[in-house]
Structure 1
Amino acid sequence: MKFFFPDSQDQVDPSFDFITEERDPRRVRQRDDRYAHEVLAPAPYDGVLVSKTIVDGTARSTTGKYTSAQRQRLYSEGAEAFFRLYNGADQLTIMGDCGAFSYHAEAYPPYTVDEVIDFYDGCGFDFGISVDHLIFDYDQAIPREDSRAEEWVRRQDITLELAAEFKARCRTRRVDFTPVGVAQGWSPTSYADAVTKLQQIGYRRIALGGMVPLRTRDILNCLRAIDDVRYANTQLHLLGISRCDDVRAFASHGVTSFDSTSPFRQAFKDERDNYYAPNRTYVAVRVPQVGGNTKLKNRIQAGEVDQGQAIKLERAALELLRRYDREEIDVESVLQALHDYSLLWNGKVDRTEQYRTTLIDRPWRQCPCTICRTVGVEVILFRGSERNKRRGFHNLYVFEQQLRQELGREDT
């Protein structure tokens, strides 16, 4: 089972000073900042998924995360050099897709088949996913002939037509990547029908899209229906699914790979599950920057909070956290400082007991990953992108370890 991490240009700056919060003034982001596979060993994923919408955006949106210079470098150098895959001990695989979620509101995908092939082949990807159109809804009781499924059928037909064209053009152009077809559906039967048609087109690698909102039991129902039509040599990829506890079940139905940002994004998007440990998760300790927290800035501008006092409380919380990690003070002193500061920016939520558990357990001390061994207590602080992304990298490390353990450390 292979785990692909979707790229969104998430890197960390090795020159960042956690005490002064300053960077090397000579830093160049693309040259000096580091990807997770450069920071952690072994790499916390088997490959990287790169979406065309992330790189190029679309004519109607600004979803692209790449600067013009980064985009030009990716196209000119190729993915292997751009992502510095040769710097790590593990050879990573690059998969490309169109980023259908970014244009789901449009009537038709914004890219032509040849534009997508140009992107995949030009960047030197190993796998390229056909152009698709997302179906969000799921209702296993509605058949294709039902008028309520009209828009779903239209999107599925578009996806299959583009998959056929994609396969044909890849053959004509003799591309260097492996084409992957996409199955979109709204029920077990519709997914199975899509897989049947994709296999008839000639695909033996098929990505299943639109399943992110589904419950695990619904995903498994779809996989069981697909089992009835799937050829023995057809491999499945789950787009956007990262349910570690269910990977064995998924694998038993022909799933050989998946992609997800969930372990990374939980580090700074989730209310509670911010830091992964082998058998549980912890809440990260929130110490926002006075100048970076919207609520606090608004209160300061409104005259409700004295800026000098806010900075004093912020610094006190940071200093006491570091002293606690050095075992110079007890946990109660830290919790009081955190509570005093939180009253200025988030007085409605008291996380004292959650923080108590995090601080008493000190999970970063038991973690062998490079992040925790290098930055220590800083990894548990919910504060700015340098700490939050490092915690996200740590989560990827733990997730990958859990995945291998769940699969019996098999490399399938």
Structure 2
Amino acid sequence: MTKFRFYFPDNKDFVDPNFDGRSNNRTKYHRQYDDDHYPHQILAELPYDGMLVSLAGVGTMQKRGKYYDQELTEDFYFSGARKFLRLDSSEYERIRLMGDCGAFDYHNEYEPPFTVDELIEFYDRGGFDYGISLDHIVFPYFKDEEAKDVAAEKCDLHELIAESERRIDITLKNAKEFYVKSQNYQFEAYGVAHGYDKNSFIRSVKELQEIGYRRITIGGMIKSKTDELLELLECLNRIRESDTQFHLLGICRFENIPAYINAGVTSADSTSPLMQGLKAGKYYSVNPNSIRFSESLMIRVRQYDHDNVQKHIDKYRDELRQYISELQDNNGFDIDLSSAALSVNECVKRLEIDCLKKLQQYDETGLDLDVTLKALIAYERVTNENYLPSKSTESKQTQLKRNEDKYHQFLLAREWRQCTCGICKGGLMNIIFRSNQSNRRRGIHNLAIVTKHKNNVLKSINPAAK
């Protein structure tokens, strides 16, 4: 049966399980790691097939990691990855653990800051199922000679290729040492293939297979276009041994899963679903009739007491006073802010309260959509400088209207009310584009959706699969 595993990279993406967006309540005396939950703990269904943890993120006992402080690093090495990530109960036994060196985090350094022995110690003490060899990332990728000619007009192409070759040599040298030494440990070894064009990638894969690797990661393609990636995989598939499996490092465009499988790719890792929710305000939903999942623009309500909003008010105080008065006269909102005794801050705060109140009422009842949307857009107008009279342009107003239409579609569909991920049951205020807790929850919801979508795709390829 065809399999394809999605791995989620660990960047301490956990949330407070007691957060309630309606009341803004959260755990009292909150301690981040001790009190928070990982995505697999807070969701009703497993949101990934595995987790990927990087040495650069965790660090060693002597070298500070990017994401872990010293106490957490010590806990990780003492407990092992599965217990530290709270994957040590039977309900998570299907989740695989993959480790890598985290080359993206040190891409500006001349050489990797770790040794092969340090990496192996990380995998061994962490109890990983799979360990990826020590690499040095290569970013430039040229799909053909024409692309090289274009690059040559902007930079020293010879120097760029020479540096890429140097990094490829470091990666392959480390792969040889890693392969030999890893035979004495429980984890299964992956080699890393890097390249700046098809031929250099082909050379890397061939050499890794000659070393003995039958698990190979394709690295450095995170910035590539989809057609470039698929074309490269097609080329690599031609020289792939029948039992060699590819893993895509840091990239998983889920609509391409059938093409990946045809090219021998059996797994990939990506933080994109979470980041698209966390920072871009995207809300995913399953579309059973499409190779893609659906994306909606989550409604945004900025926090009045956030530093950015307070600076905005201070900067445009006089204009805001006049603008709020104009909106009042033109029926731009439904509350009374006409009293001269009200400060600009009080007016903005009351608009926020009105907006949140109507969103919660709509969430609970499904009634008065137009009234809710009116309050939402009024608050957006006064908290986003792009829509102030002095800053507004025709294109900006067009964008506001476009967003208003998307908000209308999202609210009308009420998809969060049908979602069974485990987060959306908390209501709209738990996934709204607003606070770190709600934004991260929306991203975690997206993880559940892409995994459900991935499983649907696999079922379509394997109709008999359960």
Same fold (TM > 0.5): yes
Query: 1: CA distance between counterparts of 2:67 and 2:303?
Result: 25
Residues 1:315 and 2:357 aligned together: no
Query: What are the residue-to-residue correspondences of 1:45-56 with 2, within 5 Å?
Result: 45-56=48-59
Distance 1:108 1:38, change over 3 A: same
SS of equivalent to 2:459:
coil
SS of equivalent to 2:223:
coil
Query: What are the residue-to-residue correspondences of 1:331-342 with 2, within 5 Å?
Result: 331-342=369-380
Residue 389 (structure 1) aligns with = 440
Residue 76 (structure 1) aligns with = 78
Residue 328 (structure 2) aligns with = none
Identity over aligned residues, as a percent? 38
Higher relative contact order (CA 8 A, sep 6+): 2
Q: What amino acid maps onto 1:232 in structure 2?
A: S
Query: 1: CA distance between counterparts of 2:405 and 2:31?
Result: 41
Q: What amino acid maps onto 1:327 in structure 2?
A: T
Residues 1:371 and 2:371 aligned together: no
SS of equivalent to 1:290:
coil
Query: 2: CA distance between counterparts of 1:310 and 1:342?
Result: 10
Distance 1:328 1:391, change over 3 A: closer
Residues 1:156 and 2:168 aligned together: yes
Match of 2:297 among 283, 307, 312: 283
**Structure 1 residue 19, shift from structure 2 partner:** 2.9
1:313-359 superposed Cα distances (whole Å, 9 cap, x missing partner): 21211111011122274111111111221122214252221111111
Q: What amino acid maps onto 1:211 in structure 2?
A: M
Query: 1: CA distance between counterparts of 2:307 and 2:378?
Result: 16
Native 8 Å contact 1:284 1:381 kept in 2: yes
**Structure 1 residue 311, shift from structure 2 partner:** 2.0
Residues 1:179 and 2:189 aligned together: yes
SS of equivalent to 2:46:
coil
Query: 2: CA distance between counterparts of 1:293 and 1:358?
Result: 28
Residues 1:300 and 2:313 aligned together: yes
**Structure 1 residue 231, shift from structure 2 partner:** 1.1
**Structure 1 residue 303, shift from structure 2 partner:** 6.4
SS of equivalent to 2:28:
coil
Query: 1: CA distance between counterparts of 2:283 and 2:363?
Result: 19
1:83-137 superposed Cα distances (whole Å, 9 cap, x missing partner): 1113462321111111111111111111111111111111111111111111111
Residue 137 (structure 2) aligns with = 134
1:45-88 superposed Cα distances (whole Å, 9 cap, x missing partner): 0000001122129999x871122222111111111111111346
SS of equivalent to 2:365:
coil
Q: Which moved more, 1:261-270 or 1:342-351?
A: 342-351
SS of equivalent to 1:74:
helix
1:162-205 superposed Cα distances (whole Å, 9 cap, x missing partner): 1111112223xx22211110000112221111011011111111
Native 8 Å contact 2:355 2:376 kept in 1: yes
Native 8 Å contact 1:275 1:284 kept in 2: no
SS of equivalent to 1:48:
strand
**Structure 1 residue 241, shift from structure 2 partner:** 1.6
Structure 1's consecutive aligned runs of 4 or more residues displaced over 4 angstroms after TM superposition are 57-60, 409-412
SS of equivalent to 2:99:
strand
SS of equivalent to 2:371:
helix
Native 8 Å contact 1:4 1:258 kept in 2: yes
Native 8 Å contact 1:41 1:89 kept in 2: no
Native 8 Å contact 1:58 1:110 kept in 2: no
Residue 33 (structure 1) aligns with = 36
Residues 1:167 and 2:167 aligned together: no
1:191-240 superposed Cα distances (whole Å, 9 cap, x missing partner): 11101101111111110001111122222222222223211111110011
Residue 154 (structure 2) aligns with = none
Distance 1:4 1:370, change over 3 A: same
Residues 1:230 and 2:243 aligned together: no
Q: Which moved more, 1:209-218 or 1:346-355?
A: 346-355
SS of equivalent to 2:347:
helix
What is the Cα-based RMSD across aligned positions, in Å? 2.3
Native 8 Å contact 1:183 1:209 kept in 2: yes
Q: What amino acid maps onto 2:220 in structure 1?
A: G
SS of equivalent to 2:222:
coil
Query: 1: CA distance between counterparts of 2:242 and 2:367?
Result: 61
Residues 1:355 and 2:355 aligned together: no
Q: What amino acid maps onto 2:405 in structure 1?
A: E
Residue 122 (structure 1) aligns with = 125
Q: Which moved more, 1:236-245 or 1:12-21?
A: 12-21
Query: 1: CA distance between counterparts of 2:40 and 2:182?
Result: 30
**Structure 1 residue 253, shift from structure 2 partner:** 1.3
Q: What amino acid maps onto 2:310 in structure 1?
A: K
Query: 2: CA distance between counterparts of 1:175 and 1:57?
Result: 19
Query: 1: CA distance between counterparts of 2:19 and 2:431?
Result: 16
**Structure 1 residue 379, shift from structure 2 partner:** 4.0
Native 8 Å contact 2:129 2:188 kept in 1: yes
**Structure 1 residue 277, shift from structure 2 partner:** 4.2
Query: 1: CA distance between counterparts of 2:246 and 2:305?
Result: 47
Query: 1: CA distance between counterparts of 2:49 and 2:79?
Result: 21
Q: Give the TM-score normalised by structure 2.
A: 0.81
Q: Give the TM-score normalised by structure 1.
A: 0.92
SS of equivalent to 1:381:
coil
Query: 2: CA distance between counterparts of 1:369 and 1:246?
Result: 23
Distance 1:10 1:342, change over 3 A: same
Query: 2: CA distance between counterparts of 1:253 and 1:26?
Result: 50
Distance 1:55 1:248, change over 3 A: same
Distance 1:270 1:328, change over 3 A: closer
Query: 1: CA distance between counterparts of 2:316 and 2:141?
Result: 50
1:256-300 superposed Cα distances (whole Å, 9 cap, x missing partner): 1000011111112226x3343435211111012122252x22123
